[in-house]
Amino acid sequence: MRKTIVAVPAVVLAVLIGFPGLVPNAGPRLGSLIETFLPWLGLGVPVLLLLALLRRSRIAAIAVVLPVVAWVAVCGGKLAQSTGTPANLTVVQHNLSDENPDPAGTARTLLAPGADLIGVQELLPANVAAYDAVLATRYPHHAVHGTVGLWSRYPIVESRPVDIRPASVHDANWNRALRAVVTTLQGNVAVYVAHLPSLRLSPGGFGSDRRDDSAVRLGAALAGEPLERIILIGDLNGTVEDRGLRPVTDRVSTAEGGFAFSWPARTPVARIDQIMARAIAVRAVWTLDRTGSDHLPIAARLMFLS
């Protein structure tokens, strides 16, 4: 009995880490919740190891190895990260926060990595001029639709809003995605900037219905994109492991290495801000300095595949 008190939870933890897809997502969306915070399940290992040592159980101690192996297999690759990776483009993503008290200071932080493209969300119309005053010298081209915006070193030859409004949102002015065609040195690229609805964690579960609906609509737009090369810059309110974002992650991908947790800014525990691409490899992703937002900015190096 003493052995199973630790061994059984260790096996369960290993299964959750290695096979989170086994957890059903109906109702409270427990599957998405586990996938969002998957790396943090590893914190259960030292607790189980301590219990095994206290009970002086060799079998229990051996069982604790199982979640360690599962964590390394699933999350270990993210420990490897290099911001010096060769790239054709550097891209920045940031949810500015509509309560940000320092737009100019935030814009200066976004300049730091010398990016080619900067995509932003929660861009208030009243603050567009303040951001552009700082960014315009390096980024003479920009497009804004609703509360999302794109600043670019390269010409933006066209831009338009993209309808990702969930069915439950009836506000006709709800506009949180855009598509732009940017002419880079390697040719035209379709750049999407998007902000999916927020999640709500409550006693009833992981409230992701609106986010998931919006993800389906964004995924459909990406699937129908006529240009081969796509860059998606966005606050997707979910990690790439979250099955609720599968309509998007089936179309575009991101770097394997680097956790780059972006939210919440004070003590980040998950990367819900993403830079993803199709026919372009995202080589590295990392966070930038904190701004007046509740998100950290992230940056990525991208390499054209052909």
* Whether 57 and 120 share a structural domain: no
At 148 the pLDDT is 98
Of 79, 97, 120, the residue that ends a domain is: 79
35, 51, 79: which is the final residue of a domain?
Answer: 79
Token output for 118: 């900067």
The pLDDT of residue 201 is 76
- Compute and round to an integer the Cα radius of gyration of the chain: 21
- Does 166 lie in the same domain as 242? yes
Residue 228 and residue 177 in one domain: yes
Whether residue 244 is contained in a domain is answered as yes
In a domain, 61, yes or no: yes
Per-residue pLDDT of the chain (306 residues; tens, 9 = 90+): 555 778 889 999 999 999 999 999 888 899 999 999 999 999 999 999 888 888 777 787 888 899 999 999 999 888 876 656 678 999 999 999 999 999 999 999 999 999 999 999 999 999 999 999 999 999 999 999 999 999 999 999 999 999 999 999 999 899 999 999 999 999 999 999 999 999 887 777 788 999 999 999 999 999 999 999 999 999 999 999 999 999 999 999 999 888 999 999 999 999 999 999 999 999 999 999 999 999 999 999 999 987
Place of tokens 């009836």: 170
Domain boundary among 79, 108, 142: 79
Judgement on whether residues 97 and 217 belong to the same structural domain of the protein: yes
Q: What are phi and psi of 234, to 5 degrees?
A: -170, 160
**What pLDDT sits at residue 243?**
96
Residue 295 lies in a domain: yes
Q: Give how many domains the chain has, as a whole number.
A: 2
* Same domain (yes/no): 225, 282: yes
pLDDT confidence of residue 86:
77
Tell whether 174 and 99 lie within a shared domain: yes
CATH code of the domain in which 205 resides:
3.60.10.10
Q: Please tell me whether residues 267 and 191 are part of one structural domain.
A: yes
Any domain includes 273? yes
Residues 110 and 58 in one domain: no
Task: Say how far apart CA 221 and CA 224 lie, in whole Å.
Answer: 5
Asked if residue 68 and residue 26 are part of one domain, the reply reads yes
> What is the pLDDT at residue 77?
85
Task: Report in angstroms the alpha-carbon separations of 146 from 17, 108, 160, 165.
Answer: 39, 22, 10, 12
Residue 84 belongs to some domain of the structure: no
Q: Spell 140-170 as b/e; 16+ CB within 10 A means b.
A: ebbbbbbbbbbbbbbebeebeebebbbeeee
Contact 215, 236 (CB under 8 A): yes
Residues 60 and 95 grouped into a single domain: no
Q: What is the pTM of this model?
A: 0.94
pLDDT, position 39: 96
pLDDT of residue 80: 74
Question: Do both 67 and 191 map to the same domain?
Answer: no
Are residues 68 and 105 located together in one domain of the fold? no
Burial class (CB in 10 A: 0-12, 13-18, 19+), 99: exposed
Range of the structural domain that residue 39 is part of: 2-79
